[in-house]
Chain A
Amino acid sequence: MSVDFTLDLRGESCPYPVIYTLEALEGMTKGELLQVITDCPASFRNVPEEVLKHGYQFAKEPVKNGQEYLFYIVA
């Protein structure tokens, strides 16, 4: 599993993690892998929800890394 793009959202608060993630996925080619690093607690919940609702899949389970989460999403 190789990451094509990384979205580093550390320090960003709502609603920008969701907006940035969905926009990044829109701009990528289908099948590419996006890594999201986020530390906004609200985004631990609303990013995965929105990603799935907008029809994308997770490449693997989210990783909790201390006060951050890592998401791996297939565009």
Chain B
Amino acid sequence: MSLLAEKAKDVTRTLLPVVILVLLLCLTIVDVEAGVFIRFLVGSAMLLVGLSIFLWGVELAMNPIGEHMSREIATSRTPLKIALLGFLLGFLITVAEPDLLVLGYQIEAASGGALSASVIVYMVSIGVGVLVSLGIFRLLGDMPFNRFMLITYVIIFILSAFVSEEFMAISFDASGATTGALTTPFVLAISLGLANIKGGRHTEENAFGLVGIMSAGPILAVMLLSVLTEQKNIASVEIDVGVAEGVLGPILDALPSIFVESIVALLPITLLFFIFNFTRFKISRDELSRIIKGLLLILAGLVLFLTATASGFMDMGRIMGMELAGMSRWLLIGIGFLMGLIVVLVEPAVHVLGQQIEEVTSGHIPLNLIRITLSIGVGLAIALSMVRIVIPEVKLWYFIIPGFALALVLSFVSEPIFVGIAFDAGGVASGPMTATFVLAFAQGAATVIETADVMIDGFGVIAMVAMAPVFSLMVLGTLFRHARVEFPSRKEKEAPSLPPEEELQHNCIMVIVNRGFAESVVDAARLAGATGATIIRGRGTQEDHKVVLPIIHVELQPEREIVLLITGAHLSEQIADNLLADPLLVREGEMAVFMVPTEALVKIPEQDAPPGGASSGT
């Protein structure tokens, strides 16, 4: 199955429930005019094609770019260069984000011109730049992620005491606006690249979390802005809630401006990469053409996708919100929950994060489990937002502050890799689908309910969507760590072996150990004369017990590492003995050693071990 077919299948599987839900509602209780209805169907088809192409392009271009950039950062010789590069990356990708500019204009209008849109955009971009930079220092300097987030959010909580509720909503919303369809995959790729270069036992945990750190930047920036300018009150402004008519007209209207926006958003990453490629990386032509191909696919996919959401989904969301709010409040809350449940899975960044989780943990963390947890979190977030629209007494901070506070507490007892994934998920969930379809649904509902304010309640929705997954995934991580049950299973008697042998000069030794022990294997093998080794990440069943998560009965396959060593035949026995004599590796590492004679082509470098491939003297 080719990569594109794989992506298309995955997108179809997540998009189908959304289409079915909308179709069911349109055919039963919601009265929608034909134009909007057909536009929604056309939009769904565009979204399917666009998102598949986009994800394909991300895999071709974004990951290699992230890898090269992160190598450039990590191999800096001065802290100043790390700080500058990190800041530049964060600043540039944010300042070009179209959603942020839209938000900037809304705030400008709402504050009566006291805060200009450009001040907001620059402030938020500086905030992101500073936090990305700090996040990179955290990763390279081995500071625990949960402690870093605790400090960051304590500062946010303190600041939030000084700002009004409206500003709090706006600041969390700004965080959702900056983690757009493009920035999130890029920052994820940087995070993965840094973690891979840094290596060591925490590689997997380090591959996540930078998006989470980055999303704190706008919150801090906007809150600081409010405190410094003493801007507290926000006047409600009229938001255009008109519904466009026709089928093709609105799509064609939206296309040119979205095309320009997409190019502007993609430009900083592309330019930065080409400048660095020209001066530093100098990658091969094949790889360069692959990256350019990927960037073009990203652009095409993004334009299709954003046009589809803006013209096909927004009006549909608004009409549904208005009609349902007019019918029954309970229905509104229920449908809101359902929508959150399924819409979040269509977000592009959710696909990218899922892919990264799969790659990094070699499938150890079941992807569907992450998706279900994310869905439930966002479903609840939308449902609670609807409650807030229906009952004005319920304030946003009732949910946001305790939600984050609890997540932070749990981050100290949760499985470490989930902490990063959870905070990333917050930024990942609040993407273009939420910003158009779900937001329009909420605003539609707010126009019908008199006590609700279209603008203020609208802002809160994205804040909720950004908070809920952090909380729900952290709960899952805690379960993962504490609630697993181990089932002992029978241990079979090993059959006596009748191994083959040929007159070969080398042996291939394959060692399978638990994650984190590969380095010890290499060290022990080096003591016995091996010079290098290659390590592959994998997952596997341990031989004498299995681990099952209760209630949901998901079997957890422990993460394993595979170490390949090629050694001279005279050394291999000694190396194997040396490894097997290490009680820690055998007991804690649950090591298995396999050997086979091999015909090898090996050259030893003059002085030192080769940086990678295994080799040894013959």
Chain B associates with chain A = no
Chain B residues within CB distance 8 Å of chain A: none
